[in-house]
Amino acid sequence: MKLFFFQCRALVKLSLLELWRRNDVFGLLILALVLLVPLAMAKPFGSTGAVRYMDEVALVLMWGYSLFIALGTGARAFPPEFENRTIYPLLAKPVSRGMFLWGKYLVSALAFFYMLFAVAGGLRGTGWFPMDLMQAFLLHVAFVSVAVSVSMLGSLILSPSANLTLSAILLGGMFFFGRRLPEYAETVGGVLGLFVKVLYAIAPHAEFFDMRQRVIHGWGTVEFRVLLVVLAYAIAYTAVCLACARLALKRKRL
């Protein structure tokens, strides 16, 4: 257990240093500061209700950023190691391929945008860490973990461009249309209905994690049972993707 922890810590540190060296962190911070802080601090016409529109735009930007950054980070975790042949010294140490995958995954799944949103909301006077925002943060972290695991699995079986395109289409498509799929499957029936049901069963449901409207309009928190089911779904989906990625990495010829 101790060895597992040390190995994991070393890999996380290595990947964080890599992110730092690539200046990704600065890019994230600058984007977030330039766009989110003015949006969250503004009070158009002195009306607090109109601020909700700003909040919504800020949250949309956060979802967009986190999706593309998560997909990019997950997709870039392995290909550079194969291209630069740095995978050999990494695996020459007493680190298994599964452990290597897990370490990379942990770093890629970091999400901190909601903290900035909470701070900006607090500065504006709407409360520092309301319960609905905390739930939204939890669900957003779960969404990022699903997105990273999907792109990480894709990076081991597809080319980088195909992986990014396919992952973005899948997650974006499910975000907008996922909720309508069961009704659509019932309507069309037959082989197409069966196909839609299978798609609904295996596609990553990004729409399950979207709490934007509740946070913006103050509609209250989600029931604890529903929150648990959604989080369990995220854990199960991530586990499936990582197990498949582990199998793909084990069978990959280096």
Partner 1 sequence: MTSRIQILEIVGPLAVMVALAFDIAHIPTSRLPQAVQGSDVLSVVFGDAKKVISAAMLQKADSYFHGGGGHGCRSRVRDAPP
Interacting residues with partner 1 (CB under 8 A): 53, 56-57, 60, 135-136, 139, 176, 179-180, 182, 200-202, 205, 207-214, 219, 222-223, 226-227, 229-230, 232-233, 236-237, 239-240, 243-244, 246-247, 250
Q: State the Cα–Cα distance between residues 158 and 180, nearest whole angstrom.
A: 29
Q: Which is nearer to partner 1, 105 or 209 (CB)?
A: 209
Min dist. Cβ of residue 98 to partner 1 (A): 10
Min dist. Cβ of residue 209 to partner 1 (A): 6
Min dist. Cβ of residue 135 to partner 1 (A): 8
Q: How far is CA 77 from CA 86, 156, 160, 190, in A?
A: 12, 10, 11, 41
Q: Which is nearer to partner 1, 15 or 138 (CB)?
A: 138
Min dist. Cβ of residue 104 to partner 1 (A): 18
Q: Which is nearer to partner 1, 160 or 233 (CB)?
A: 233
Q: Which is nearer to partner 1, 58 or 76 (CB)?
A: 58
Alpha helices in the chain (DSSP H): 2-21, 24-41, 51-75, 79-83, 87-92, 97-108, 113-124, 131-157, 160-177, 181-188, 190-202, 212-217, 224-251
Min dist. Cβ of residue 111 to partner 1 (A): 16
Nearest partner of 206 among 149, 158, 163, 165, judged by Cα: 149
Q: Which is nearer to partner 1, 124 or 179 (CB)?
A: 179
Q: State the Cα–Cα distance between residues 218 and 227, nearest whole angstrom.
A: 17
Cα angle 197-198-202, degrees, rounded to a multiple of 5: 120
